[in-house]
Amino acid sequence: MPRITNWQEIDRLRDGLISPRLTIKQREDDEVKYVHYDFDDKQRFPKQPNQVELTHLTDLQYGSKGFQRDRFLAYRDWILSSPNRFVFLGGDLIDAATILSVASPYDNTEEPIDQVDGVVELLDPLAAKGRLLGYVGGNHERRTIKTFGDCGRTIARELKVPYSRGVQLIDIKFGAHNPFKVSLWHGGGSARTKGAKAQMLHRFMHQADSQVYLVGHLHDVVLLFDWRQQRVGNKIKLQKIAGIMSSSFQGYWNSYAEVSAMSPSDTMMARILVDRSGGWECTLR
């Protein structure tokens, strides 16, 4: 498909879908750092629900021998079973091992360029329904930078979803939420203990002014709540914030995690339920 040089064009390409209206707030070069979605736009989202579900999909690592395809397909079909479920892509969608990366290409089932095609095919049913709201690249997408560039940008163009290889801030206008604010980042570091993993997540929770902060990367699950002081009129309000680390769709046995005796983990993805009345809650599925 032709390259999308104007990210505002994404919204036009989404016309005809039952999806919220997209507005690009801040773009840096070919990446989108700040986006806004209007779920109250009745022309684009005619069936106004009382609740929307925001789901995190991260660390698929498609192309790895350990990628759990059947588990991912079941999860994708569950998302598609409700018109009110939407997705944030958290990075490491493909494994993309090269001769320059730490991992061996022999641990992959196909070349990175074929992995791009394969993961786009898996995610296309979500894109075709207008369910993809944002995408941040991970260290595995960046493995190809030294060879042919950041393959996350290619994936994003194919799926017509705003992309950032760093952080992405997403606003959700929905009922009393004007807006509900989300910070999306792949995550970083090589922490092994729960405490160290929580520190990475909590450090990210001190950036921006979001209510929810989503990371992946470490293939584990962490859920943290905190509170932020806000000036509201003549009072100081305590704002609830949450940080969630989702795990992965990578199998444990015969993986580098098992070989290095890292803590085992299974697939659990963050899920935020946002009520039109102004409430919200976090779960893991």
pLDDT tens profile 179-217: 999 999 999 999 999 999 999 999 999 999 999 999 999
Nearest C-alpha neighbor of 76 from the set 33, 132, 144, 30: 132
What's the CATH number for 9-284?
3.60.21.10
Q: What integer pLDDT is reported at residue 107 of this predicted model?
A: 86
Q: What integer pLDDT is reported at residue 141 of this predicted model?
A: 95
For residue 42, count CB atoms less than 10 angstroms from its CB and return exposed for 0-12, middle for 13-18, buried for 19 or more.
exposed
Rounded to two decimals, what is the model's pTM? Answer: 0.94
Q: What integer pLDDT is reported at residue 283 of this predicted model?
A: 95
Q: With a cut of 50, which residues of the chain have pLDDT below it?
A: 1-2
Dihedral (CA of 219, 206, 279, 52) sign = negative
Can you read off the two tokens belonging to residue 79? 């998302």
Dihedral, 25, 26, 29, 32 alpha carbons, nearest 10:
-70
The residue assigned the tokens 């498909």 is 1
Amino acid identity of 90?
Answer: G
Contact criterion met (CB below 8 Å) for 272 and 280: yes
Can you read off the two tokens belonging to residue 252? 């444990």
- pLDDT tens sequence across 3-48: 555 666 677 767 667 789 999 999 998 899 999 999 999 888 888 8
Q: What integer pLDDT is reported at residue 45 of this predicted model?
A: 83
Can you read off the two tokens belonging to residue 228? 């932020």
Q: What integer pLDDT is reported at residue 29 of this predicted model?
A: 87
The DSSP H or E segment spanning 169 is strand 168-174
